[in-house]
């Protein structure tokens, strides 16, 4: 058994948990690792939905500026590539479940949600900038 890995993962989960009301409610009723994995997956899905809403609004506001629109799309693709590479760097093993155990799916989704929420905040800043330019 890999105790250092397990301890690291348990400590890491506490550090990246999104602590949204929906996540806490789901986690409170979870009675298995599979249920906790589902809670984390749903949290990542909510974060992704928030990001997509802001991104769509940003594309709408910047559509008048062709150069800006192309750069925003390029930045979004670069961020997606970064997020995926970051997750791969965090969990480099080919057999992730075998190496990191059943908690891996929960951990990966919580990190994905955290990174997505951080990027959503960045896109909100950009959206605010484009909103102010229209005034």
Q: Domain boundaries in the chain?
A: 3-133
**Average pLDDT for 15-43:** 88
Mean pLDDT to the nearest integer, 19-37? 94
- Predicted pLDDT of residue 65: 81
- CATH code given to domain 3-133: 1.20.1270.180
Tokens at 113, concatenated: 């949600």
Question: Residue holding tokens 């400590």?
Answer: 11
Q: What average pLDDT does this structure show over 57-79?
A: 90
Residue 133 has pLDDT above 80, yes or no: no
The yes-or-no verdict on residue 91 having pLDDT over 90 is yes
Mean pLDDT score across all residues of the chain:
87
CA distances (Å), origin 134, targets 16, 51, 123, 131: 36, 22, 17, 5
């Amino acid at each position: 058994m890999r105790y250092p890995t397990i301890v690291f993962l348990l400590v890491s989960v506490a550090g990246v948990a999104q602590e949204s009301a929906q996540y806490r409610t789901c986690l409170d009723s979870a009675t298995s690792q599979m249920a906790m994995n589902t809670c984390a997956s749903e949290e990542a899905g909510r974060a992704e939905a928030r990001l997509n809403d802001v991104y769509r609004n940003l594309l709408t506001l910047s559509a008048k500026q062709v150069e800006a629109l192309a750069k925003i799309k390029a930045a979004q693709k670069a961020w997606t590539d970064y997020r995926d590479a970051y997750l791969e760097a965090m969990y480099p093993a080919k057999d992730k479940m075998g190496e990191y155990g059943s908690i891996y799916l929960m951990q990966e989704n919580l990190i994905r949600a955290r990174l997505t929420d951080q990027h959503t905040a960045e896109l909100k800043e950009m959206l605010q900038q484009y909103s102010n330019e229209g005034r």
